[in-house]
Structure 1
């Protein structure tokens, strides 16, 4: 499907929402990311900060669809803000408070969320390739974003739900994509990772205790030194996966039922 440069963003989002995440990624390859929609901002930091002063009155801010590309938004309070479909490519959100915020269908390519607070946030069908979530708190968040190549070193994803939405398959298999992402030392304890795409992801020293990895795609991933006590591996694909020096491996659930276990790297 060829998408012209002048293709309306609102129509594109309708297509993204009505297609699988995989299809959305394929379409993204056809989108001209050099256009003002994906590179410019229609507001300044001061404009955004002025609007956010209303947070004190308990009124969630509506920034849906706004172009905020490249802005320095670090440290601002976006508590429960509506950023659905917003454009945040290359934006700096270091240390920002995005607790309970809605980032569904947002574009945040190469955005910096390091040390940001995203507790209970919604990141459904968001495009976040190569974004920086180092040290961010995404505990309890709902994530079906494309985070290919993202950095999540030391991030807190305890109890987060990144699993496929099996009740909404008419829209395709919506699930988090963490292919080639760096989750070194991340806390994924009790996270829902069923069917998540994590091929070639770095999970060295990660805490996966109690995580549900049923049917997760872990081919080529590096789990060296990860804590897998109570983690569920039922039908997870572990072809060429590094399962070396695992902590709590004797307490892992259904590891013997993982696919391609005979092709995993064990020691």
Structure 2
């Protein structure tokens, strides 16, 4: 049963304005760039995005952000993107910052049917106490702030209640995939791609190398095809580095 689509544009064609998107990638590693570019080529807008970060100004989710097609972002890291900071501080973008491990577990919980869970991360901080600015008003005041979270004590330690993340669609990138959707991720691309895939009601995966069913050793599959609904053979991914630092050789 092949899940292969002819191209990225056809795979994302039914993503409507206002959709929620769980997007894989870690920094600029493992970003579903072909799928994001296909969405950018369409007209849908007002997306709510769940992702570790939001790309850079001209790559990854930064493309949709620069076009003002994203209304809200739930992420754990928002550096390296000047337009992101500008939109947030200007009150054009709503941002929910969450600890990285919490974000990962919220996605995993959404994919496994767990509605919420307790975690010690964020206890006693604005993450749990509330008041974090999610959206600013044009005059710089806080228009929308985070709400306090439920706290319970287990074995003498306090924990926050965090709700699972379920998205309308998930966009992921894998190094290898077969036509049924079994995926293998490369190194750091595993950090959020499998979790984002699980969190989406419809998972769309772009793969660098497409193989037939049976060519992947079952023991090496990182994400079973049951979680994947659509496949795009995108070929090799553009390799980008967020910040290149070069050490000059000292004079002899």
TM, length-normalised to structure 1: 0.24
Greater RCO (Cα-Cα under 8 Å, separation 6 or more) = 2
Say which structure is richer in strand.
2
TM, length-normalised to structure 2: 0.25
